[in-house]
Amino acid sequence: MCGIWALFGSDECLSVQCLSAMKIAHRGPDAFRFENVNGFTNCCFGFHRLAVVDQLYGMQPIRVKKFPYLWLCYNGEIYNFKQLQKQFGFEYQTLVDGEVILHLYNRGGIEQTASMLDGVFAFILLDTANRKVFLARDTYGVRPLFKVLTDDGFLGVCSEAKGLINLKHSTSLCPKVEPFLPGHYEVLDLKPSGKVASVELVKFHSYKDEPLHAACDTVETLPSGSFDLETVKSNIRILFENAVRKRLMAHRRIGCLLSGGLDSSLVAAVLLKLMKELNINYPLQTFAIGMENSPDLVAARKVAAHIGSEHHEVIFNSEEGIQAIEEVIFSLETYDITTVRASIGMYLVSKYIRKKTDSVVIFSGEGSDELTQGYIYFHKAPSPEEAAEESERLLKELYLFDVLRADRTTAAHGLELRVPFLDHRFTSYYLSLPAELRIPKNGIEKYLLRQSFEDSNLLPKEILWRPKEAFSDGIASVKKSWFSILQDYIDQQVDDLLLEKAAEKYPFNPPKTKESYYYRQIFEKHYSGRSNWLPHYWMPRWVKATDPSARTLKHYKSATQE
């Protein structure tokens, strides 16, 4: 996990523009570098480093003797760099996993490069020999990337939008900053002036398709075409374990977030099992956060005792949570209601990990709810086919919601997040299964995933079959939800009259509640006029919901009252 930043064709003094790059210093607390591009006085790279792999030679932009005309700035982890080296006979100059991007590009161009990378990434690749700039981002947008491109060809690229919004440019008072689309690469021509012109934007991978890199994966070819239940369950276990195993690549200590829900518990249990098999000689630290006696703390305690992790509990009160709201919204760069709610707990636990422990590489359960239809409202899907379509929509928008939350809250404290549920092979296999296999059954969501691990003894039965509890709800008591605590506080901060006139003040995504108005006010304070970064609020479907919390849905109420 790092912070990347680059400018091409800047009209302003680079030493002034470089101040913007310092806005993302939290992403790489170990070292930073600015470097001008030879022969292009108005182009430069900025890099903030979190040293996780090859601590000696990992500074960027990466340049190697074999390709002196290539410059690479990337954020991410490429899990198959050794397999690709073996398959194609690459000779690496460093131990940095990202060096493989240079070799792949030299061998087969940008399309093959992006398609063959098994991992999470956002990168800027400059080819001065052919005067090309390439941008690319992984399938689900696990690693963030933003860009600004003006009409006259000034390009700015950064891991977070906050590193671009204050850039100066002669022809634009307020250049349009936008997220770079996941699963795409862009080709731009580099002019002698340092300015660029976009040539094409290409989608290189659809998450339903088996990725091109599957051919050189460590897992054997799975039985295909058979949807026999036992075969399916076995394949799910094999691919999930493989997803966790490949993410063990690190020279820094590994930890795991543990809410006590199915997803984080499965990740923690498989992670600890594999760490033992690989003789990793330190205990796995697991981290739970909540208010006193919250459901998540109780459940996480059970899981930690069962798997034998070194467990840490972070207990916070409503005042600490409320005090964190502004810094959380600044970190997130969004005003989405459920994202802000869920981020507060994750932000505070990340803060604890950074201050009190030496764990840096943090595993988490993001992506499972979208992939395996884990949200409560999936019980109301009109048909398996519509449920499958909704699952795909949620995966497509992950970079706006849960993946955004998970990246920003951990990166704000210099931690690197790893999300095995979003492994390319695991997700493409799961999505290839018949729609009726993936829907909730017997009133239980994620039924197939739970069933797949039923005989593994990885988790206690009551955890494996624990009903869905949204992270922002599970951290508070059942008697009073976290969203109710927030709403009670905000009710005193926002006047009724302000809410009545909200649509006039904020015509795009107008706030409908005092809570959403409060978050929007803070967002506009830091990112005025950028409300279109969020195309719409996250809300459940097929139910008449006025609030995104699962605790407001009938299915949740009946389940907790039984």
- Give me the CATH number covering residue 472: 3.40.50.620
Q: Are residues 172 and 244 in the same domain?
A: no
Look at residue 28 and tell me if it is in a domain.
yes
Which tokens in the block code for residue 70? 């290539």
Q: Are residues 8 and 83 in the same domain?
A: yes
Look at residue 37 and tell me if it is in a domain.
yes
For the stretch 459-507, pLDDT in tens is 999 999 988 765 556 676 666 788 888 999 999 999 999 999 999 999 9
What one-letter code names the amino acid at 450?
Answer: R
**Residue 516 above 70 pLDDT?**
yes
Is 44 an annotated catalytic residue?
A: no
- Domain final position from 153, 171, 203: 203
Q: Per 3-state DSSP, what percentage of the chain is helix, strand, and coil (rounded to 5)?
A: 45, 20, 40
Annotated binding-site residue numbers for ATP: 257, 289, 364-365
Q: Are residues 243 and 198 in the same domain?
A: no
Q: Are residues 233 and 197 in the same domain?
A: no
Q: Quick one: how far is CA 188 from the chain centroid?
A: 26
Look at residue 560 and tell me if it is in a domain.
no
Q: Are residues 176 and 307 in the same domain?
A: no
Q: Which residue has the higher pLDDT, 19 or 189?
A: 189
CB atoms closer than 10 angstroms to residue 361: 23
Annotated binding-site residue numbers for L-glutamine: 97
557 pLDDT tier (thresholds 50, 70, 90): very low
Look at residue 220 and tell me if it is in a domain.
no
The pLDDT assigned to 173 comes to 66
562 pLDDT tier (thresholds 50, 70, 90): very low
> Residue 172 belongs to a domain with what CATH number?
3.60.20.10
Q: Are residues 170 and 235 in the same domain?
A: no
The answer to whether the CB of 364 falls within 8 A of the CB of 417 is yes
Look at residue 561 and tell me if it is in a domain.
no
Q: Any idea which residue has 């009190």 for tokens?
A: 356
Q: How much is the average pLDDT of 17-23? A: 82
For the stretch 257-277, pLDDT in tens is 999 999 999 999 999 999 999
Q: How much is the average pLDDT of 282-300? A: 93
pTM confidence score: 0.94
The answer to whether the CB of 180 falls within 8 A of the CB of 186 is yes
| Containing structural domain, residue 319 | 227-552
Radius of gyration for the chain, computed over Cα atoms and rounded to the nearest angstrom: 23
Which of 2, 43, 44, 158 is flagged as catalytic? 2
Range in 41-50, 248-257, 305-314, 398-407 with the lowest mean pLDDT? 41-50
The pLDDT assigned to 546 comes to 72
Annotated binding-site residue numbers: 97, 257, 289, 364-365
Look at residue 216 and tell me if it is in a domain.
no
Q: Are residues 195 and 317 in the same domain?
A: no
Q: Are residues 245 and 174 in the same domain?
A: no
Look at residue 547 and tell me if it is in a domain.
yes
Count of structural domains within the chain: 2
Q: How much is the average pLDDT of 116-143? A: 97
The pLDDT assigned to 403 comes to 97
Q: Are residues 176 and 232 in the same domain?
A: no
**Residue 38 above 70 pLDDT?**
yes
DSSP letter at 146 equals E
Q: Are residues 196 and 241 in the same domain?
A: no
- Domain final position from 203, 219, 247: 203
Q: Are residues 124 and 166 in the same domain?
A: yes
Look at residue 218 and tell me if it is in a domain.
no
H or E stretch covering 42? strand 40-49
- Domain final position from 161, 187, 203: 203
Kindly state the percentage of the chain with pLDDT values over 70: 92
Q: Are residues 165 and 298 in the same domain?
A: no
**Residue 157 above 90 pLDDT?**
yes
